[in-house]
């Protein structure tokens, strides 16, 4: 798995239709309430997660002209969620859920858990929008929290239009399967299915699912099993369970949104379902460490040693890294940058990288391309090609990201990412004294281990084999 697959900018246009929910968390200490934390919930949390994963999402829904609606719009603007097609009306009330925490433990939930019963003209607005703009989109997502945005008639019409246009519909719902006839993928939680079928018996739930899946011609059904993982009934009605062996203790509010968003992102990257469910379980599990609404937090992935090992390619484009910075993935984190050819990796390289990593939260490595090395070192270099060097370096845990560059120096990258600290070996100290630049105040020289260099290794090999 590489980082670009989960967060790189994707030229895929998605239309999301669903219920806006605002999550509020009130923390109480010594009989007094402290801060109030506000999070995007429901379909808006799905929109936020998809946006964080580099997907261009248009979001259609309705909210009230009330305080909760204003807070939703303000928070969406802060997080970069596109609300261009969100409509406001004084006849609707925006759904919110308020959770009280006393000394860190959830005590009570107060909610305006209302249902928005869309007027005929508002439902018509959604239907006409889809009819007129369907060709602009690659996929349609229905995030159905049963709060009234998606009526039976509207769901049927959306799926019918998409089927005629050969556009796949992905659905996350809590309602009966009959509503979603001819959809491509339908996701439930096991708790919602227990309520739908009025049983906790897993075999009865599974038999019901297979029966209705065939009846309503649904291609794929995915069921999340909380911390235990998920199972999938594929287009051939074959059942397969995917166990989550990387469970992290947490509350899980919104983890289903993360699971569904990762599932969708990896699907459009052409991952196989086995890999999709593995990483969906993995990243949803990693997202529940916060006691607020879960969303994909890429920094948590970076610092979680259990997760690091699953990303064997840390090469990322400069554009994607800048998107991470602009989306505040690394808010208040110290970013360090170092660079080099790393042709034949030796103890001097490792020593410098380890020393650098201890001074920052995120260590970015600028890695010379093969052509760049030829210009710097001569036509017989590199010994090891870029792909192999990148693979080796990706498996060094202290490195968080690798950015390829073709120029003689990485000044373009440094200027773009504006790191807090720059690292070079102390053998470059004289060079930087002679070639001063605007980054000299950020420069830290790491300890140089005498006798360790790629050039000396090559010379030693030639000497030994000539003899």
Render pLDDT for 211-225 as a digit per residue (tens, 0 to 9).
999 999 999 999 999
The pLDDT of residue 274? 92
Q: Which of 132-141, 313-322, 390-399 has the highest mean pLDDT?
A: 132-141
**Region of poorest pLDDT, from 154-163, 170-179, 264-273, 313-322:** 313-322
Q: Which of 89-93, 220-224, 253-257 has the highest mean pLDDT?
A: 220-224
d(CA 330, CA 340): 24
**Is beta strand 239-243 parallel, antiparallel or unpaired with respect to 229-233?**
antiparallel
Model confidence band, residue 28 (pLDDT cutoffs 50, 70, 90):
low
DSSP 337: E
Query: For 301-331, what is each residue's pLDDT tens digit?
Result: 665 555 555 666 889 899 888 877 776 667 7
Query: For 363-387, what is each residue's pLDDT tens digit?
Result: 999 999 999 999 999 999 999 999 9
Q: Which of 2-16, 69-83, 299-313, 430-444 has the highest mean pLDDT?
A: 69-83
Query: Quick one: tokens of 436?
Result: 């001063």
Is 124 a residue whose pLDDT tops 90? yes
pLDDT top residue among 234 and 8 = 234
The pLDDT of residue 355? 95
Taking each helix axis from N to C end, the angle separating 255-268 and 273-286, rounded to the nearest 10 degrees, works out to 150
Query: For 275-289, what is each residue's pLDDT tens digit?
Result: 999 889 888 877 776
SS3 115: coil
The pLDDT of residue 293? 78
Question: Nearest to residue 183, comparing CAs of 132, 140, 239?
Answer: 140
Measured in Å, how far apart are the chain's first and last C-alpha atoms?
44
Is 352 a residue whose pLDDT tops 80? yes
Is 30 a residue whose pLDDT tops 70? no
The pLDDT of residue 131? 96
DSSP codes joined into one string, 52-106: HTTEEEEEEEEEESSHHHHHHHHHHHHHT---TTEEEETT---EEEEEEEETTEE
- Are 27 and 35 in contact by the 8 Å Cβ rule? The answer is yes
For 419, counting Cβ atoms within 10 Å of its Cβ (0-12 exposed, 13-18 middle, 19+ buried), the class is buried
The pLDDT of residue 286? 73
Is 429 a residue whose pLDDT tops 80? no
The pLDDT of residue 386? 96
């Amino acid at each position: 798995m590489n980082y670009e697959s989960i967060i790189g900018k994707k030229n895929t246009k998605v239309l999301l239709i669903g219920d806006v929910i605002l999550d509020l968390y009130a923390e109480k200490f010594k009989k007094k309430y402290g801060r109030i934390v506000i999070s995007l919930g429901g379909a808006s949390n799905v929109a936020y997660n998809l946006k964080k994963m580099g997907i261009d999402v248009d979001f259609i829904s309705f909210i009230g002209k009330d305080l909760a609606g204003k807070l939703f719009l303000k928070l969406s603007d802060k997080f970069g969620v596109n609300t261009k097609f969100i409509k406001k009306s004084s006849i609707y009330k925006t759904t919110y859920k308020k959770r009280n925490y006393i000394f860190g433990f959830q005590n009570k939930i107060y909610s305006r858990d209302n249902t928005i019963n869309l007027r005929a003209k508002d439902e018509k607005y959604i239907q006409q929008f889809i009819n007129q703009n369907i060709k602009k989109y690659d996929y349609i997502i229905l995030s159905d929290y049963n709060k009234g945005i998606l009526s039976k008639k509207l769901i049927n019409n959306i799926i019918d239009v998409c089927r005629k246009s050969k556009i796949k519909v992905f659905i996350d719902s809590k309602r009966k399967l009959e509503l979603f006839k001819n959809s491509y993928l339908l996701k439930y939680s096991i708790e919602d299915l227990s309520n739908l079928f009025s049983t906790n018996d897993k075999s009865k739930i599974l038999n019901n699912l297979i029966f209705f899946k065939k009846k309503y011609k649904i291609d794929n059904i995915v069921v999340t099993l909380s911390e235990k993982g998920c199972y999938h009934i594929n287009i051939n009605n074959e059942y397969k369970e995917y166990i989550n062996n990387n469970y992290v203790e947490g509350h899980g509010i919104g983890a289903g949104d993360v699971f569904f968003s990762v599932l969708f992102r990896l699907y459009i990257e052409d991952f196989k379902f086995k890999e999709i469910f593995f990483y969906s379980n993995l990243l949803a599990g990693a997202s529940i460490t916060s006691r607020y609404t879960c969303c994909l937090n890429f920094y948590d992935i970076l610092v979680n040693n259990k997760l690091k090992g699953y990303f064997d390619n840390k090469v990322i484009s400069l554009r994607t890294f800048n998107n991470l910075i602009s989306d505040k993935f690394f808010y208040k984190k110290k970013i360090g940058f170092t660079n080099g050819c790393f042709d034949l990796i030796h103890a001097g390289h490792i020593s410098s990288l380890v020393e650098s990593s201890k001074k920052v939260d995120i260590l970015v490595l600028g890695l010379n391309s093969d052509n760049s090395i030829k210009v710097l070192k001569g036509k017989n270099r590199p010994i090891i090609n870029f792909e192999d060097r990148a693979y080796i370096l990706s498996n060094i845990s202290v490195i968080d990201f690798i950015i390829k560059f073709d120029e003689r120096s990485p000044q373009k990258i440094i200027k773009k990412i504006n790191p807090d600290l720059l690292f070079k070996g102390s053998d470059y100290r004289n060079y930087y004294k002679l070639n001063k630049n605007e980054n000299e105040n950020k420069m830290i020289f790491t300890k140089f281990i005498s006798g360790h260099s790629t050039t000396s290794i090559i010379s030693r090999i030639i000497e030994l084999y000539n003899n």
